[in-house]
Amino acid sequence: PIMKSSALLLSSAAPIAFLVLSALAAAPTSAFLSRSVSTSTPDNGSGTCLNAASGYKLGAKTTGILLNNRFVVESLGSVLPDGVEMSEIALLRFALAHPERRDAEGALKSAVRWRQGKGKEIVDAAAEAVAKATEGGGWDNDVVRNAAPHGDIINKYITPQSVITMSTDEGDLVYVIRASQIDDKELMDRATVEQVCDYFLYAKEIHNLVANSRSESTGRMCSVIFANDISGVRKAPDRRFSQALTSSSDQYESLYPSLAGPTMILNLPFVLQAFVGLLKPLFPKSVQERLVFKRAPVLAGLKELTPLATDARTKTSFVKEVKKLLP
């Protein structure tokens, strides 16, 4: 009987794990907050030392990492095609993910081909949206949402009720998703797999632009911290939705290396908490290294995620909660 119960629990855990993994690809730009970013050095006594991404710790100083990887970064800059511009931070992320120069150059060339070819419209739209959104010195999120590929269809389903991107005081992005509040079936009845995939890749490009800009302006490597709220999850996602997420996820590490920070799986059902050790292997090794299973009472107490953007007290409480949850 015990073995049967364990098997049942594991079978129910698999779709939950897939939902969380899929969320890594989604990261829609539902609610970037125009929150000010502190330029001060992070508190080294906080105990936050989890890997942010390949090759650096969360809160690492940009100048030191650039110095340690200067040779590869300069080599990458020399192989960029004419007319292609990428910041040192963008090149640094490839160097961190691929310490061997030849591997880094190959990965960069592959990403550039996508940016100049199939992904050009996505890249151009994101750059234009960020430029317009920051014209007044803050952040106009409506500009970014309205410029998203197929946003006239998808924005109805990907909203601040289910997905939000916030900032920590130090400048890291915190992407929060509550998958149970996304009507993925109705979404996929109205949008194609390719349209949804493009939407998610646009969101990643927005994250990439913001993170690289902050890394340069603050002198601190900015990462995207994933906060996946499992509250309310009862079933696996729609097959077509899964296909769109898988497609964008497959491209994530190759297009945006060294961007993802810690991945927090929050508010896992009590019945599955004892099986965390068995859930972890369901994720890629690169994700396992940054994986954190925790309870988040502030997040669990919200009926939907909108207050994280509209209520200052709730927003502050959750940002503090995130900091405490990181090792």
Query: Tens digit of pLDDT for each residue in 11-38?
Result: 444 555 555 555 444 444 444 443 333 3
Which are the contacts of 64, defined by CB distance < 8 A and separation ≥ 6?
A: none
pLDDT band at 107 (very low <50, low <70, confident <90, very high): very high
pLDDT, residue 120, reads: 96
Separation between Cα atoms, residue 62 and residue 223, nearest integer Å? 12
pLDDT, residue 122, reads: 97
Separation between Cα atoms, residue 273 and residue 246, nearest integer Å? 25
Max intra-chain CA distance, the chain: 66
Least confident of 188-202, 220-234, 261-275: 261-275
The conformation of residue 177, written as its DSSP 8-state character, comes to E
Contact 290, 264 (CB under 8 A): no
Quick: pLDDT tens for 81-99: 998 999 999 999 999 999 8
What average pLDDT does this structure show over 237-250? 86
Render 248-262 in DSSP notation, one character per residue: HHHHHHHHSTT-EEE
Pairing, β 56-57 against β 291-294: unpaired
The model carries a pTM of: 0.83
Two tokens, residue 31: 């609610």
Helix (H) or strand (E) holding 51: strand 51-53
Least confident of 40-54, 92-106, 209-223: 40-54
Nearest to 27 by CA among 165, 156, 184, 221: 165
Two tokens, residue 49: 């030392």
Contact 126, 27 (CB under 8 A): no
Least confident of 47-51, 167-171, 257-261, 292-296: 47-51
Percent of the chain with pLDDT over 70: 78
pLDDT, residue 289, reads: 73
- Backbone φ and ψ for 220, nearest 5 degrees, come out as -135, 130
Render 195-219 in DSSP notation, one character per residue: HHHHHHHHHHHHHHHHHHHHHHHHS
Question: At residue 159, does pLDDT exceed 90?
Answer: yes
What average pLDDT does this structure show over 237-256? 87
Helix (H) or strand (E) holding 316: helix 312-325
Alpha helices in the chain (DSSP H): 2-26, 62-68, 70-78, 88-97, 101-116, 120-133, 141-147, 151-154, 184-190, 193-218, 239-255, 270-273, 276-279, 285-288, 297-300, 307-310, 312-325
pLDDT band at 268 (very low <50, low <70, confident <90, very high): confident
pLDDT, residue 271, reads: 66
pLDDT band at 252 (very low <50, low <70, confident <90, very high): confident
Quick: pLDDT tens for 120-148: 999 999 999 999 999 988 899 999 999 99
Separation between Cα atoms, residue 247 and residue 87, nearest integer Å? 27
Quick: pLDDT tens for 176-193: 999 889 999 999 999 999
Average pLDDT, the chain: 83
Contact 203, 70 (CB under 8 A): no
